[in-house]
Chains A and B, each alone.
Chain A
Amino acid sequence: MRSIKKSLFTVLTFVEVDTRRYFRDRLAIFFTVIFPLIFLFVFGSLNSGDNSVSFRVALLNKSDSEIAQQVVKQLKDGGILNINEDATTLEKAKELMIKSQLDATIVVPEDYGTVKEGEVAPSGQMEVIYTQNNDESGAALASVLKDVSSKIVPVEVPFTVKTEQLNSKSLSPFDYTFAGLLGFAIIGMGIFGPINVFPELKKMGILRRLSTTPITVWQYFLSTMISQLIIGVLSLSIMFLVAIFVFNLNVVGNWLELIAFLVMGTIMILGIGLALGGWAKNERQAAPLSNIIVFPMMFLSGTFFPRFLMPEWLQNISGFLPLTPVIEGIRLIATEGQHLWQIAPQLGMILAWTAVIYVIAFRVFRWE
């Protein structure tokens, strides 16, 4: 009992000094707190705009009929079209389309909306001009315009489609992005932290000196883990605050469950850092191996873009990466309000990886 108490005293003293040291180190604060926040702002502002489709078009109206004016006004107010005011001539519009700054050009011809010879009602045909790689927007735009035109002249259509909006809110792109960014921050702390620090400590002989004292590997790991968790809680809380107050993230899940899950995920990912940093004798050994392990996770686990965008075979593989269940679990709890027992597959995978990773980390650790 006494020896357990002593062991914990060792661990807690190391945690205390490590934590104090962290708050004195501006660079460390930058990489663990500010850096993920920058990513949060960049990806947050990319994704938080309204997610309705919007076309960038030039609108060239050559007709001065009343109907033409009405159509143009409808298009401008409709919100679907983002009309470029600079493109006033067809030449200019074509140039912008080639540069992909415009999706299409809508031309309202001179005779649009006038009564033509031999007809009783006004008629007209708008033109949609688009480039080769904009087939889809061209087609979509054509149907939008049909819709607008039909509103001017009511036509009875026998078969119609009735739309109904579901009350439940679907996940916004930001919900996916935010879970991914948390994953990115966890990787940053858990893997890049030890990878940068351990080899340096070995080079300076600090770990070697420590190994002449009775401190054990598990005490050293535990103290590193606790101090990283303290930093992690700080960094992730700031991210949550920014996401909630700036980007309107709506956390529907239970906060306690979410925190417990984040702690488990962080401990597992930190094990990867401990294994890599503990094994590497110097930075040259640490860098390539960590890149091999970190980059696939960064791109395939749903950090920067959701996994459902990947082909199925890749989803099957990336599902087994350690970071994947962490990101999915965060999203399931935070934005879908699921409980820990409902995400058993993710939890199981995290626990399995934790066991595997820490067995490896203890085996490969070297004090010098």
Chain B
Amino acid sequence: MVEVRGLKKRYGDKWAVNGIDFDVKKGEIFGILGPNGAGKTTTLEMMETLRPIDGGTVLIDGIDVAKEPQKIKYIIGVQPQSPSFQDKTRLTEVIKMFAAAYGEKVDPMKFLRDVDLEDKAKSYVEDLSGGQKQRLSITTALVHGPKVFFLDEPTTGLDPQARRHLWELIKKVRDRGISVVMTTHYMDEAELLCDRIAIMDNGKIIAIDTPKNLIRALLKRGFKKEQHVEQANLEDVFIDLTGKGLRDA
């Protein structure tokens, strides 16, 4: 679905992205990991038509992003790092506007139901919690039925319940056959959610595989972690005590 070949981006005389290659298959969750400044967001933005490509190509469903950005916009959905909406807009109106941006008329309630926001339909966006805004943003990015869905650090700043809920949503999106490309700083998120991951550093991809294979390869190289045979971690305790129910109602 997505083919990236020799992709490059330069800021001043520094290559923020320095010749990367990867493919994303239909209906998989592909994670891009890396420390700050590794070039994750820049890579995403070039694929989303937000930034000019300085070298290499990105093909999405066979269409060249650099040559036909307007066509690309119809087949991608974008979730920004911190989604925000204009005040005094009702949730139904947000959906209506985004659908209209693609020239389409949709039933806003259907899309709100997809992300469990139907009882907030008449609220203004400024009355939503962080997690609810993320969910609204996800559903607005899917109003036109895109083939590829990009998310930039979708769970940063959310509480454990909201994170889990969002993971489930992202999996549902994948199960509809949409390819998901996301960046994240959370290793647990990458391990649990992503079918394959690419690890970036200094503008280059230094490893690319399924999380399991990457861990196996590391162990094969003779890596040993101090053994703590614990059957639970603190997050398990937290979820056990506070439950999985969402708290932003």
Q: Given the known A-B contacts A13-B96, A205-B80, are A213 and B89 also in contact in the complex, defined by CB atoms under 8 Å?
A: no
Residues of A within 8 A of B70 (CB): 214
Kindly identify, within residues 1 to 42 of chain A, every residue whose CB is under 8 Å from any CB belonging to chain B.
3, 6-7, 9-10, 13-14, 17, 20-21, 24-25
Which of B80, B83, B97, B105 has its CB near the most chain A CB atoms (within 10 A)? B97
Residues of A within 8 A of B98 (CB): 213
Q: Given the known A-B contacts A208-B80, A212-B48, are A17 and B93 also in contact in the complex, defined by CB atoms under 8 Å?
A: yes
A interface, how many residues as a size bin?
20 to 34
Whether the pair A24, B50 counts as a contact (CB closer than 8 A) is: no
Question: Which one of A7, A17, A215 contacts B89 once the chains associate, using CB atoms below 8 Å?
Answer: A17
Whether the pair A209, B78 counts as a contact (CB closer than 8 A) is: yes
A210 within 8 A of B: yes
Question: Which one of A10, A13, A206 contacts B86 once the chains associate, using CB atoms below 8 Å?
Answer: A206
B22 within 8 A of A: no
A60 within 8 A of B: no
CB distance from B152 to the nearest CB of A (A): 11
Number of B residues near A (Cβ < 8 Å) is 29
Whether the pair A213, B101 counts as a contact (CB closer than 8 A) is: yes
Whether the pair B84, A214 counts as a contact (CB closer than 8 A) is: no
Write out, one digit per residue, whether chain B residues 178-190 have a CB within 8 A of any chain A CB (1) or not (0).
0000000000000
Q: Of all chain A residues, which has the CB nearest B85? A: A206
Whether the pair B100, A9 counts as a contact (CB closer than 8 A) is: yes
CB distance from B249 to the nearest CB of A (A): 24
Kindly identify, within residues 24 to 54 of chain B, every residue whose CB is under 8 Å from any CB belonging to chain A.
48-50
Whether the pair B88, A25 counts as a contact (CB closer than 8 A) is: yes
Kindly identify, within residues 21 to 67 of chain A, every residue whose CB is under 8 Å from any CB belonging to chain B.
21, 24-25
- The distance in angstroms between the C-alpha atoms of A86 and B248, with both chains bound, is 71
A217 within 8 A of B: no
Q: Of all chain A residues, which has the CB nearest B140? A: A209
Q: Is the interface of A mostly helix, strand, loop or mixed?
A: helix
CB distance from B161 to the nearest CB of A (A): 25
CB distance from B180 to the nearest CB of A (A): 16
Residues of B within 8 A of A6 (CB): 103
Whether the pair B88, A211 counts as a contact (CB closer than 8 A) is: no
Whether the pair B89, A10 counts as a contact (CB closer than 8 A) is: no
> Can you name 20 extra interface pairs (CB under 8 A) apart from A9-B103, A25-B87?
A3-B103, A9-B105, A10-B102, A13-B96, A14-B97, A17-B93, A17-B97, A21-B88, A24-B124, A204-B84, A205-B80, A206-B85, A209-B83, A211-B50, A213-B73, A213-B101, A213-B144, A214-B103, A215-B101, A368-B50
The 10 residue pairs across chains A and B that have the minimum distance between CB atoms: A6-B103, A13-B100, A213-B101, A212-B78, A204-B84, A24-B88, A215-B101, A214-B73, A17-B93, A21-B88
- Chain B residues with a Cβ under 8 A of chain A: 48-50, 70, 73-74, 76, 78, 80-89, 93, 96-98, 100-103, 105, 124, 144
Chain A to chain B contacts (Cβ below 8 Å), 19 pairs = A3-B103, A7-B103, A10-B100, A10-B102, A13-B97, A13-B100, A20-B93, A205-B81, A205-B83, A206-B85, A209-B83, A210-B101, A212-B73, A213-B98, A213-B101, A213-B102, A213-B144, A214-B74, A214-B101
